[in-house]
Amino acid sequence: MEEVNVGLTFGSDPEFMIEKEDGTKISAIKVLKGFDKHNKLSLTYDQKTFYDNVLMEFNVAPASTFREFEEHMGACLRFAQQLLARDGYYLKQQASATYPLSECQDKESQVFGCDPEYCIYKLDKNGIIRQLDPPSLPKGNTFRSCGGHIHIGHPIASPNGGRPPLVVKLMDLFVGNTAILIDHDKTSRGRRRIYGGAGTHRIADYGLEYRTLSNFWLRSPRWAEVIFRLTRLAVQLALAKPDLAHELATNEETESIINAGDRERATALYEKTKRCMPDDLQDRIETLVDVYPESLEVEWGLRTPTAKKLKPA
pTM of the model: 0.95
pLDDT, tens digit (0-9, with 9 covering 90-100), for 80-95: 999 999 999 999 999 9
Residue 1: what pLDDT?
78
Domain that holds residue 122: 9-298
Mean pLDDT rounded to a whole number for the chain: 94
- Is 187 a member of any domain? yes
CATH of the domain at 80: 3.30.590
Q: Is pLDDT of 311 > 60?
A: no
User: What percent of the chain is predicted at pLDDT more than 70?
Assistant: 97
Question: Residues 187, 269, 150, 67: is their CA dihedral positive or negative?
Answer: positive
Residue 212: what pLDDT?
98
| Helix, strand, coil percentages for the chain (3-state, nearest 5) | 40, 20, 40
Report the number of distinct structural domains present in the chain.
Answer: 1
- Is 309 a member of any domain? no
What are the backbone dihedrals phi and psi of residue 276, each rounded to the nearest 5 degrees, phi first? -95, 0
- Is 100 a member of any domain? yes
DSSP H or E run through 14: none
pLDDT, tens digit (0-9, with 9 covering 90-100), for 179-211: 999 999 999 999 998 989 999 999 999 999 999
DSSP H or E run through 83: helix 66-85
- Is 307 a member of any domain? no
- Is 63 a member of any domain? yes
Q: What is the DSSP letter of 173?
A: I
Q: In angstroms, how far is CA 248 from the centroid of its own chain?
A: 23
Q: Please report which confidence band the pLDDT of residue 306 belongs to, taking 50, 70 and 90 as the band edges.
A: low
pLDDT, tens digit (0-9, with 9 covering 90-100), for 113-128: 668 899 999 999 898 9
Residue 111: what pLDDT?
80
CA distance 159 to 167: 11
DSSP H or E run through 251: helix 251-260
Q: Is pLDDT of 139 > 90?
A: no
pLDDT, tens digit (0-9, with 9 covering 90-100), for 215-224: 999 999 999 9
- Is 1 a member of any domain? no
Q: Is pLDDT of 227 > 70?
A: yes
CA distance 90 to 21: 7
Residue 313: what pLDDT?
38
- Is 14 a member of any domain? yes
Residue 134: what pLDDT?
79
Q: Is pLDDT of 4 > 90?
A: no
Residue 294: what pLDDT?
96
Query: From residue 6, how far is each of 210, 233, 242, 249 by CA, in Å?
Result: 18, 9, 15, 24
Q: In angstroms, how far is CA 308 from the centroid of its own chain?
A: 29
CA distance 185 to 101: 23
pLDDT, tens digit (0-9, with 9 covering 90-100), for 39-75: 999 999 999 999 999 999 999 999 999 999 999 999 9
- Is 259 a member of any domain? yes
